[in-house]
Amino acid sequence: MDFETLIEPAAILPALRATSKKQVLQELAEKAATLTGLPEREVFETILQREKLGSTGVGNGIAIPHGKLQALDHIVGVFARLTRPVDFDALDDQPVDLVFLLLAPEGSGADHLKALSKVARLLRDRDTVANIRDAHDAGSLYALMTSVSAQNAA
């Protein structure tokens, strides 16, 4: 699974202004709804329900909210770099400034887990994360994510 199949340039929000975890999730749900044609409320409720099971804030300022939607036919990613970190109830109690939303079809099983793993691997690399934090626009962020992912696959 290539990173290019998980996200497209239009799905990158390089400077999202949000003041809370809920607002971040709402903004990501809105973008995902625009990209997929699914109802925004359905997307938001799906990721909110998953978040209630435990925070998807994985540490180091990173969160990977995710969920499965029956009406979806392929895995969709939305990435946001926040202008200011927000409390996300992360495992390390640190605020989050990088958020990668993953949505998968209801029956995706192993593909959903592979996509989560790929995103986690990308965002685990300190140099990559530093470069992501320094990038200025959606095109640069997309190029960085897809080139690093391709290098890691080689």
Assess contact for 88 and 57: CB atoms under 8 A: yes
Short-list 111, 100, 29, 120, CA closest to 73: 111
Assess contact for 12 and 4: CB atoms under 8 A: no
Tokens 């986690």 appear where? 120
**Phi, psi (deg, nearest 5) at residue 53:** -75, -25
Chain-centroid distance, C-alpha 85: 15
DSSP H or E segment with residue 48? helix 40-53
Q: Which of 66, 74, 112, 136 is catalytic?
A: 66
Pairwise CA distance, residues 50 & 39, whole Å: 17
112 labelled catalytic: no
Short-list 34, 91, 85, 101, CA closest to 57: 91
Which residues have a catalytic role annotated? 66
